[in-house]
Amino acid sequence: MSAAADPAARPPAPLMAVAGICKRFGSVKVADDLTFDLGRGEVLGILGPNGAGKTTLFNLISGDVAADAGRILLEGQDITRLPPHRRCRAGIGRTYQIALPFAGLTVFENLLVGSLSGARCSRAQAHDECVDLLRRCGLASKSNRLAGSLTLLDRKRLELARALATQPRVLLLDEIAGGLTDPEAQQLVEIVAAIRAQGIGILWIEHVVHALLSVATRLLVLNAGEKLAEGDPATVMRSAEVSRAYLGVEA
C-alpha cells in the first residue's frame, strides 16, 4: 500500500475548520470569505486593527451571529446553523472582552452554572470539576466571595474558569489580558499555556501582543473582514503589510 493510500499516513483532521465564512451588515463586509483551521493543543492568535472583524468572527463561531455563507466544522461536525447553547454543548467555550459574571452569585456558583448548563455534568461531577478549576485558575481562596466584589484580574480569572467549566474542545479568548498589568497578564498566560497542554484548541484575540506571542503557535491577521496574513508568528510580525495595517507604520 502506498503512503498516500495509507490512512495512518494522512494528516489528522483539524479540530475546527472555518471554510469561506462571510457576513455583511448592510453594505459593510465584516467577514469576507474567511478560511482557516485550528488543531488540537494549538493557540491561534487573532490580530488586526479596531473594526477588522475579530469579535464578529468569534460571534460567528459561537453562534451569536448567523453567517451569510460558509461553514464551521467541529471535528467534522457541521455546527454552522446550531444555536449558541448547542454549540457550547458541542465544545465551543468563550470569554468576552468585558467580564460580566453573575455578580450576586459566589465565584463557585458561577462555575457551577457553566458546568451544569454547558457541560451538563451531574451535580457530583460538577462539584469536583469546579473545585479543580478554582485551583487551576488561582481562585480557590475566593470561592465563596460574591463575583461582583472581585478585582479586574480575578474577574478575568473567573471569566476564563467559567468558560472552562463547560468542558470546551475549542476555547475563544477575547482580550483576556486587556486592562491588566504585565505581571497580571503573565499569570493568565501561564494558565492559557496549561490549557493548551491539555489538548484544547485556543483562538485568542489580544491587543497585549507580547502576551499573545508568548504562547501563540500561529497568527491570523484580519483587516476589514479579510485575511491579511496567516502563519508563523515571527514571520507574520515581520510583514510590512501587517505593520501598515495593524500598527500604521512601515516595517
- 168 within 8 A of 199, measured Cβ to Cβ: no
Q: Which of 29-43, 117-131, 213-227 is the least confident region?
A: 117-131
Q: Mean of the pLDDT values across residues 34-46?
A: 97
* Domain 3-247: top CATH class: alpha beta
Q: Kind and range of the H or E element at 125?
A: helix 123-136
pLDDT in tens, 174-204: 999 999 999 999 999 999 999 999 999 999 9
Give 7 or 72, the one with higher predicted confidence.
72
pLDDT tens, residue by residue, 97-114? 999 899 999 999 999 999
Quick: pLDDT tens for 44-65: 999 998 889 999 999 999 999 9
Asked whether the beta carbons of 130 and 115 are under 8 A apart, the reply is yes
Instruction: Enter the pTM of the model.
Output: 0.91
CA separation for the pair 210, 82 (Å, rounded): 35
Grid cell at residue 46 = 487573532
CB 71 within 8 A of CB 243: no
Each residue's pLDDT tens digit, 121-165: 788 889 999 999 999 999 999 999 999 999 999 999 999 999 999
Q: How confident is the model at residue 251 (pLDDT cuts 50, 70, 90)?
A: very low
172-to-36, 93, 206 alpha-carbon distances in Å? 15, 6, 11
Q: Which helix (H) or strand (E) holds 47?
A: strand 43-47
65 and 56 Cβ atoms separated by less than 8 Å: yes
Give 81 or 242, the one with higher predicted confidence.
81
Q: Cell numbers of 45, please?
A: 492568535
Of 53, 44, 11, 1, the C-alpha closest to 171 is 44
Instruction: For the chain, give every domain's residue range.
Output: 3-247
Average pLDDT in the 204-210 region? 93
At residue 37, does pLDDT exceed 90?
yes
